[in-house]
Amino acid sequence: MENNLNRLLSEQLKFAKILIDEPMKNHTSFKIGGPVDVMVIPTCEEELVEAINICKKNDIDYYVMGNGTNLLVSDKGIRGVVIKNSEGLGNISVEGNTIKAQAGALVTVVSKIALKNSLTGLEFASGIPGSIGGAVTMNAGAYGGEMKDIVAKVKCLDGNGNIVEYTRDEMNFRYRGSRIEDENLIALEVEMELRKGNFEKIEKTMRELTEKRNSKQPLHLPSGGSTFKRPEGHFAGKLIDDSGLRGVRYKDAQISDKHCGFIVNLGNARCKDVTTLIQLVQKVVKDNFDVCLEPEIKIIGEK
C-alpha cells in the first residue's frame, strides 16, 4: 500500500516532501509512536488542500497534524497518510494591530513577532509549543488568556473541500474546544486582532510567564503537555496529587513529580505505558473524588 500511496502522491504533489514508513515519534513532543505509512509535508496551502483531495478521491485515511505537541500515537503507528503542516505553512504577516498566521506557524514564533511589533494580547501564549492551527482548534489557553480572546477570523477547509471563513462569534469557542473540532474542519489561517502596547511591558510579562512555566512544569522531559482537561470546579493536577499519585511510574511513563497534571516520557516510554497510567489516574481520582478526568491529549493510530 505504501508504494501505491507514494507513487500517487508523488505524481500529483511535485514539491511536497513525502516520507515513507516515517516514525511518528520523530514528530511528536511525547517522542512516542510507530510509523505512518506515508507522511506528506506540504510547502504551501494549495498542496495541503490537494493532498487531502487525493486522499478523499482514493478512499485513503488521512490525518492533518501541526507540531504534534498534544498527540500520543499508537505503538503500531498510523495506517494511511499524515499531512504535517507545521513546516511548510508558517507564513506570518502584520498589518497595524492585526497578525495573520498560517495554521502551521508556531505559537512561540507568532508571539515573538507580536512582541517585535509592540502588540499586546498574546503574552499568555508565548510559551505554548504548538502551532496556531492546533491552538485555535482547541482554544488553547494559559494564565488567564485563551485564543478566543484574540481571534478575529479563521479560514478553514470544510468536509466538502470548500474554503470557508468564520468570525470569532461563529467559531463556537469553549474550554478546549471549537467549531473546528465539532465539524471536523481543518484550520488554514488565523487572523488575530491585538492592541498596541509597550514593548518593555510586553517583554517583561512574557519573561515572567516563561519563568513561571519553567519552574512549575516538567519541560525538561518529553510529554504531550497537560494530560487531562480541567474538570469543572477542580484542578486535575491537584486531584491527582491528593490521590497520592505524584511520581507514580509504569515502565518509562511517569506522572511528573514536578507537576501531577503531566505524564512524561523518561526515555523509552511506549503509547501503551502512557495509556496504562492514564487509566490508573482516571480510576483512582474517580474512586477518591467522584470526578471523571477527560484526556486533553489526543490518542491516535492503529489499535
Domain ranges in the chain are 2-84, 92-216, 236-300
d(CA 249, CA 226) in angstroms, rounded, equals 17
Q: What is the CATH number of domain 2-84?
A: 3.30.43.10
Catalytic residue positions, numbered:
176, 226, 296
Q: What pLDDT is attached to residue 37?
A: 93
Helix axes 45-57, 2-12, angle to 10 degrees: 130
Mark the ranges of the chain whose per-residue pLDDT is less than 50: none
Give how far the C-alpha of residue 61 lies from the chain's centroid of Cα atoms, to the nearest Å: 20
Instruction: Print the SS3 string covering the chain.
Output: CHHHHHHHHHHHCCCCEEEEEEEHHHCCCCCCCCEEEEEEECCCHHHHHHHHHHHHHCCCCEEEECCCCCEEECCCCEEEEEEECCCCCCCEEEECCEEEEECCCEHHHHHHHHHHCCEECCHHHCCCCCEHHHHHHCCCEECCEEHHHCEEEEEEECCCCCEEEEEHHHHCCECCECHHHHCCCEEEEEEEECEECCHHHHHHHHHHHHHHHHHHCCCCCCECCCCECCCCCCCHHHHHHHCCCCCCEECCEEECCCCCCCEEECCCCCHHHHHHHHHHHHHHHHHHHCCCCCECCEEECCC
Q: What pLDDT is attached to residue 142?
A: 85
- Phi, psi torsion values for 24, nearest 5 degrees: -70, -20
92-216 folds as 3.30.465
Condensed to tens digits (0 to 9), the pLDDT of residues 239-271 reads 999 999 999 999 999 999 999 999 999 999 999
Condensed to tens digits (0 to 9), the pLDDT of residues 86-135 reads 888 999 999 999 999 999 999 999 999 999 999 999 999 888 888 999 99
Q: What pLDDT is attached to residue 221?
A: 96
Q: What pLDDT is attached to residue 2?
A: 57
Measured over the CA atoms of residue 207, residue 212, residue 217 and residue 221, the dihedral's sign is positive
Residues 188 and 85 sit within 8 Å (Cβ to Cβ): no
Burial class (CB in 10 A: 0-12, 13-18, 19+), 292: exposed
Do 92-216 and 236-300 share a fold?
no
236-300 CATH, one of 3.90.78.10, 3.40.50.300, 3.30.450.20, 1.20.58.60 = 3.90.78.10
Cell of 35: 510509523
